[in-house]
Amino acid sequence: VAPLLAVRDLSKIFPIRRGIFGGTAGQVHAVDGVSFEMAAGETLGLVGESGCGKSTAGRLLLRLIEPSGGQVRFHGAEITGLDAGAILPVRRRMQMIHQDPYASLNPRMQAGEIVGEPLVIHGMGDKAARQARVAQLFERVGLRPDQQRSYAHEFSGGQRQRLGIARALALGPELIVCDEPVSALDVSIRAQILNLLMDLQDEFGFAYLFVSHDLAVVEHISHRVAVMYLGRIVELTDKTTLFEEPLHPYTEALLAAVPVPKVTGRRRTRKPLQGDVPSPINRPSGCHFHPRCAYVHAPCHTREPVLREVTPGHLVACHLHDAGPRLPLARQT
């Protein structure tokens, strides 16, 4: 059976222009050879520091921006080369939930129209059927029926995100890319929205690609997690393994920065992240992480590590694991 989504060697290069007279000053490899698969109904968390390319990767999947290279297959069919007409039926099955619902909602449309608009664009049902669907969606995301006539500015942040979710659900998608969907919300509201997203997945069975810099949020919602650094996936495995027994030094360092209330002995020994993210225009040689890595050794300066499966379902790009599986880092000492 083909996976829901198969991404192969996906890349996006942005040129950097020099001043107002143009001329190319360099390139940013925002996404650099990213490969992964997703199964129907799963949540894949995509984490990393700001600027690592995780949002760009999410937008590439939906063809909101054009890739510089690589392939995206949806149910086994390549969608990378499809023209605007041919991509439309695929788009119906892939939706997006944005970080800032206010910026993504039309301020001049009533909330009911905002949620029903995808049905109009895709010619789904007659007017009565669309109204019934909108009413059902409002109820399902926890909005009142009378709020259909309100405008986006009349909603609180959490209610706006409910509106964005209802709109994303309208066409019955199979995959939803969520880009930092709770990062702009008050802490008190975050759990409500996350739990709503999880309940909706249980009910409708769609998959989420969940893009976030917030490890606690990703741990709450994900089944598997991919960690990105400077445009590349450096580790990918199931959530429990990633959080309990990371194999990549960058993952270990990210986790060291997260306060853990129930501290296990292992987590205390984690080596924290040093230094800042290097410029993506001028990435370090060899392993891009080597200037910040507590485990750097000779090959790291010159050879770029390849993402490989070191134990079933656990992929790591690090020379420490080139010769096969090793103990989780924190157990090596």
CB of 332 to ligand SF4, least distance (A): 12
Q: Is 58 in the site for ligand SF4 (CB under 6 A)?
A: no
Q: Which of 170, 211, 318, 329 binds ligand SF4 (CB under 6 A)?
A: 318
- Does 210 interact with ligand SF4 (rule: CB under 6 A)? no
Distance of CA 38 to the CA centre of its chain: 12
Question: Residues 290, 307, 314, 329: which binds ligand SF4 (CB under 6 A)?
Answer: 290
* Residue number, 164 or 305, with CB nearest to Mg ion: 164
Nearest alpha carbon to residue 50 among 186, 244, 196, 180: 180
CB 171 within 8 A of CB 118: yes
Distance of alpha carbon 152 from alpha carbon 237, whole angstroms: 38
Chosen from ligand SF4, Mg ion, none, partner binding at 305 (C-beta under 5 to 8 Å by type) = ligand SF4
Q: Judge whether 74 and 90 are in contact, CB under 8 Å.
A: yes
Q: Which of 177, 218, 300, 329 binds ligand SF4 (CB under 6 A)?
A: 300
How far, in Å, CA of 140 to CA of 163, rounded? 11
Q: Which stretch binds ligand SF4 (CB under 6 A): 38-46, 109-117, 205-213, 315-323?
A: 315-323
Among 31, 152, 197, 287, binds ligand SF4 (CB under 6 A): 287
Q: Are strands 5-17 and 69-74 parallel, antiparallel or unpaired?
A: antiparallel
Instruction: Check residue 55 for interaction with Mg ion (CB under 5 A).
Output: yes
62 contacts ligand SF4 (rule: CB under 6 A) = no
Q: Which of 283, 305, 310, 315 binds ligand SF4 (CB under 6 A)?
A: 305
Q: Which two tokens stand for residue 231?
A: 């445009």
Q: Closest separation between CB of residue 291 and ligand SF4, Å?
A: 8
Residues 79 and 72: their CA atoms lie apart, in Å, by 6
Nearer to ligand SF4 by Cβ, of 270 and 319: the residue is: 319
Residue 251 near residue 219, CB atoms below 8 Å: no
Q: Which residues contact 214 (CB under 8 A, 6 or more apart)?
A: 180, 182, 183
Residue 52 interacting with ligand SF4 (CB under 6 A)? no
Q: Which residue has the tokens 């009911």?
A: 112
Retrieve residue 19's tokens: 């001043």
Q: What's the min distance (Å) between Cβ of 326 and ligand SF4? A: 11
Contact letters (x/-) for ligand SF4, 224-263, by CB under 6 A? Answer: -------------------------x--------------
In angstroms, the first-to-last Cα distance of the chain is: 42
**CB of 157 closer than 8 Å to CB of 177:** no
Closest separation in Å from C-beta 230 to ligand SF4: 11
Binding residues for Mg ion, per CB under 5 A?
55
